[in-house]
Structure 1
Amino acid sequence: MKFIKTLSIALFLMFWVNFSNAQFKTIKTQNGLISGFKIGTVNIFKGIPFAAPPVGDLRWKAPQPVQNWLEVRKCTEFSASPFQANPTPFYCWTEEFIAPPKPLSEDCLYLNVWTAAKTAQEKRPVFVWIYGGGFSSGSSACPIYDGEEFAKKGIVFVSINYRVGPFGFMAHPELSKEQNNVSGNYGLMDQIAALKWVKENIAVFGGDPNKVTIAGQSAGSMSVNCLVASPLAKGLFHRAIAQSGGMLSNRIPTSLNDAEKMGETFQKKANASDLSELRQKSAEEILKISQSSGLRMGVTLDGYVLPTDIVQHFKDGKHNDVPLMTGWVTGDAGLIPNQGLSAEKFRQQSTDKYGAKSEEYLKLFPANTDDEAKTSQSRLSLLSFAALSSHLWAGYNKSQSYIYQVSHVPTDKPDFPNYGAFHTSEVPYALHTLHLWKRPWQDHDLVVENLMSSYWINFIKIGNPNGKNLPEWKRYTKETGVILEIDKETYQRPALLKKEFDLLESL
């Protein structure tokens, strides 16, 4: 009788787990069972670990494997955001755009999944979102990064955390010595570890590991560019969306040698005799030293995660060539401080830098008056930050590429400063999360949201943004230069910026 009772309980538990898996109340990942929660048709799992906590001796090391667990792990809340300066609203970014102020922790390597799949056999396309924040801030827990709406449209939505600031990007000779002659880029390695987790686990959420799109904005866009360049990320994704940022036209990446020198300077500022002593300092101390020293750490061209010459790498076709959708918002120009040169000084600088080509340069970027010089410098900032990199990347790509420009200005709150089509403003339109951004939305905002999110979803599903009831969006080539202008009215603009691109590329 006791045996029959025990067998009955075992059969019931087996049935319950299998039934739960079918309904996604619990999921069996490679590290153990997890449980989430459900809103309508969407199953949501938050705070799933994809790497061991990078603390103690694991600070400034490549992400290590997760330790398996035996009990069902409850995954219903976002994990802590990466350790960073206390996130507060500023400029045009309100609380919907920034990391929650608490909790912050070095123990941050977790991801989140939204899926409306009913079984593990559906093989839905997968979208992996990488946040921005200048490689010094950010979090997957930002409200506008919610994945519910995409999940309703048949996408398995994944958002990930990665280390930022000195925790994610410090290089140092001692670190290089213990890590096969390279260091830094830990934040990028976190992203690669998350993509490996997706490849190994996403099928049980109803996702297709062979149909993964990586996407990001600002530093997230630069991260996408880096992942496309990295030999370590080969085969982990199949499409790429890069919004407002790239590595092919700016001076953000640094050499390993220069990055190591910055790490040595950091150590001196910290009054630490060696790496071991530096690892013993608290996260608060590390952050304080970073802020007071003015050292800004970011991506390193280390010859391991990234090639030492990223532009030549793309020119040679050695990158992970996948279908690409990329672009910018017109307000991205404000991300690079304007030099503030007078017309006279701007013209002189042009002559000094470009010699015989300065006449052609000043025709495209005129400076007959100080106001005209200011406008030209603003246009050059936009081109340098995002547009030129998009043009170069698409030109090196053999797979189909699509380029957009967002000019749409979000409806403001009453008595709220109008910042125009500001940096990041397109994200809630593309991710269909306007309802999570508190504004008095007008019909034209909802039209742009439906249009942008439809383009994004089509691209995620088939590698082409075009679809029924959408304005046509032609592939980008250097010859035609067709760019999709997204505004209250959306239309194609052949050869937009073509002369500027051709000239800057020749320079």
Structure 2
Amino acid sequence: MENLAAPFAQTRQGSVIGITDDDCHVWRGLPFAAPPVGALRWRSPQPAEPWSGVRVADAFAPSSWQNSEVCTQIAGGDPGRMSEDCLYLNVWSPVTRTLPLPVMVWIHGGGFTMGAGDLPPYDGKALARRGVVLVTFNYRLGHLGFFAHPALEGEEGEIVCNFGLLDQIAALRWVQENIHAFGGDAANVTLFGESAGARSVMSLMASPLARGLFQKGVIQSSYSLPDTPRTQALEKGVAVASHFGFADATAEQLRSIPAQDFWPLTSPLKIAPAPISGDSVLPHPAMDVFFAGRQHPMPVIVGSNSDEASVMAEFGVSLAGEIGKLRREQRLGLGVIRLLYRGVKGDEALGRQVCRDMAFTAVGLVVMQAQQRVGQPCWRYWFDYVAEAEHDTYANGAWHGNEVPYVFDNLALSEPVRHYVTTRDLAFAAHIADFWVSFARHASSDCTTLAGVVPWRASVGRRDALLRIGLNKHAEFRMVNRFMRTRLSLFKRVMRHHVKLD
């Protein structure tokens, strides 16, 4: 056993010292790449400059430019200071540890336009206490992270549009090179994320540039919206440049636009909540890669929540309006849907469930079948627990993102539930965090069951199994087979035609 008196570590860039927080060491604001500013805007992340002496890592770094008010309201909290210089990460490691420990690397969500790695729900102490090294990080958001323009094409000898995904890859490379200094095992890295973070996990499982950088993936509430084709991204980039007065922009003119001027852009100039397909990072759309079973083979957890439609307004979707559109354009299709959702009354309620399942729940079936094609285990879940004091607030179930503080066992840090969390809520969260750490520690190609409050069986071979985490908003864990199989199979067949960004 090792008991480190001081949170000191030696990285390839130099020596760092963090802080001790109870029984964990924490290093905050470690650079994993050079600041992507000036001539480095819209370029692949470059190595961080080495330093002499000991770098004090006791403060979180700025987040990428974004709408802080919206992030505070719906994306986990106040992102704090913002800057184009945002490529930093944070590490939590238990003070007392047996080396090496499993590593869990978190990618925050926020539609690729908001969020940060240091938001309160992502505090890594509760997971680190369970015997892992936890890493969170920032990446470039919005137009700074996902942008195409003819003036930028081929600057690096290849086509790059997904700079934010390259930042994520750079963070994973930093982990491979340095995590041993913090007690972690670079050969056992679990990449996990929610919403855009989950879509990032899928994108990196589909990217040739991320091969070998992580060994397991957790996909929480990813969505089936299509990636933006590069041709469309180029058209949008030209329109953005024209908006700023550069009708025939050069790269230098584009880089002269103040970084903070991009995030207030509204539709049709704002970016889509999905990466860009057709560059060197993501040659093919991530969903297409999974449909074909060509993702990097590794064990996976995948699942979603019972009221994912709570986020549809952010995608510009009217729940009742979608049913009205079916009534006008596809009456036969509406009849089929009514058969699949017997007993659901009213366009709003029906639209809520249909949009949820087509955009979110069906992704679990797609991933499960892709995993079966490559011979890798897939643990599926359906999150339907609501904190005891919030049942009236969340009338339709668990909202998009509600599972995150349970996964991190951070209910006491998360708004608004921290004000009225109960001992039973905390006990339920502890079970979920235990499952996620068990996956990080034990999951492998040969593992078919995760130990926990109930045995969580993976879908392997022809098995279609799912763990219900919560039942009708109440505390229960229950294994079920062929969950929503008929409706999800239908939505899998039609999602590429009916799930659209417009």
Question: What is the TM-score when the length of structure 1 is the normalising length?
Answer: 0.87
Q: Is the 8 A contact 1:412 1:439 kept in 2?
A: no
1:486 to 461, 469, 480: 469
Residue aligning to 1:141: 118
Q: Deviations over 1:202-232 (max 9, x none)?
A: 0111100000000001110111111111111
Residue aligning to 2:367: 393
Residue aligning to 2:86: 108
CA shift, 1:287, in A, is 3.0
Residue aligning to 1:85: 67
Look up the SS of the partner of 2:69 in the other structure: coil
Structure 1: distance between partners of 2:432 and 2:455: 13
1:402 to 350, 354, 379: 379
Residue aligning to 1:16: none
Q: Is the 8 A contact 1:455 1:466 kept in 2?
A: no
Look up the SS of the partner of 1:141 in the other structure: coil
1:295 to 244, 247, 270: 270
Q: Aligned ranges for residues 108-507 of structure 1 at < 5 Å?
A: 108-116=86-94, 118=96, 122-246=99-223, 249-251=224-226, 253-272=227-246, 273-288=249-264, 290-291=265-266, 294-297=269-272, 298-336=274-312, 337-341=317-321, 346-351=326-331, 360-365=336-341, 371-397=345-371, 398-412=375-389, 420-437=397-414, 438-463=418-443, 466=449, 470-476=453-459, 479-487=462-470, 488-507=475-494
Q: Deviations over 1:420-477 (max 9, x none)?
A: 4111111111111112122211233122101111111100101169555511222125
Residue aligning to 1:98: 77
Look up the SS of the partner of 1:391 in the other structure: helix
Q: Deviations over 1:57-94 (max 9, x none)?
A: 11111111111101211101100011112335666x48
CA shift, 1:193, in A, is 0.2
Structure 2: distance between partners of 1:86 and 1:477: 42
Residue aligning to 1:31: 13
| Unaligned 5+ runs, structure 1 | 1-19
| Unaligned 5+ runs, structure 2 | 495-502
Structure 2: distance between partners of 1:466 and 1:305: 33
Structure 2: distance between partners of 1:415 and 1:498: 29
Q: Is the 8 A contact 2:19 2:25 kept in 1?
A: yes
Is 1:75–2:51 an aligned residue pair? no
CA shift, 1:313, in A, is 2.6
CA shift, 1:406, in A, is 0.8
**Letter of the structure 2 residue corresponding to residue 313 of structure 1:** V
Residue aligning to 1:17: none
Q: Is the 8 A contact 2:449 2:458 kept in 1?
A: no
Q: Is the 8 A contact 2:450 2:457 kept in 1?
A: no
Q: Deviations over 1:254-282 (max 9, x none)?
A: 11111111111100001124221121122
**Letter of the structure 1 residue corresponding to residue 56 of structure 2:** K
Structure 1: distance between partners of 2:360 and 2:321: 22
Residue aligning to 1:8: none
Q: Is the 8 A contact 1:333 1:381 kept in 2?
A: yes
- Is the alpha carbon distance of 1:264 and 1:414 closer, same or farther for their aligned partners in structure 2, counting shifts above 3 Å? same
Look up the SS of the partner of 2:157 in the other structure: coil
Residue aligning to 1:62: 44
CA shift, 1:177, in A, is 3.1
Q: Aligned ranges for residues 17-56 of structure 1 at < 5 Å?
A: 23-56=5-38
Structure 2: distance between partners of 1:334 and 1:394: 24
CA shift, 1:45, in A, is 0.2
Structure 1: distance between partners of 2:209 and 2:322: 46
- Which one is further off, 372-381 or 58-67? 372-381
Structure 2: distance between partners of 1:332 and 1:498: 18
- Is the alpha carbon distance of 1:392 and 1:26 closer, same or farther for their aligned partners in structure 2, counting shifts above 3 Å? same
Question: What is the TM-score when the length of structure 2 is the normalising length?
Answer: 0.87
Q: Is the 8 A contact 1:410 1:420 kept in 2?
A: no
Look up the SS of the partner of 1:407 in the other structure: strand
Structure 2: distance between partners of 1:163 and 1:236: 20
Structure 1: distance between partners of 2:452 and 2:229: 47
CA shift, 1:376, in A, is 2.8
Look up the SS of the partner of 2:262 in the other structure: helix
Residue aligning to 1:13: none
Structure 2: distance between partners of 1:283 and 1:263: 15
Residue aligning to 1:6: none
Look up the SS of the partner of 2:198 in the other structure: helix
Q: Point out the structure with max Rg over C-alpha.
A: 1
Number of equivalences: 473
**Letter of the structure 2 residue corresponding to residue 473 of structure 1:** W
- Is the alpha carbon distance of 1:399 and 1:304 closer, same or farther for their aligned partners in structure 2, counting shifts above 3 Å? same
Q: Deviations over 1:232-273 (max 9, x none)?
A: 110000110111114xx322x111111111111100001124
Structure 2: distance between partners of 1:378 and 1:212: 36
Look up the SS of the partner of 1:107 in the other structure: coil
CA shift, 1:184, in A, is 1.6
CA shift, 1:194, in A, is 0.1
Identity %: 30
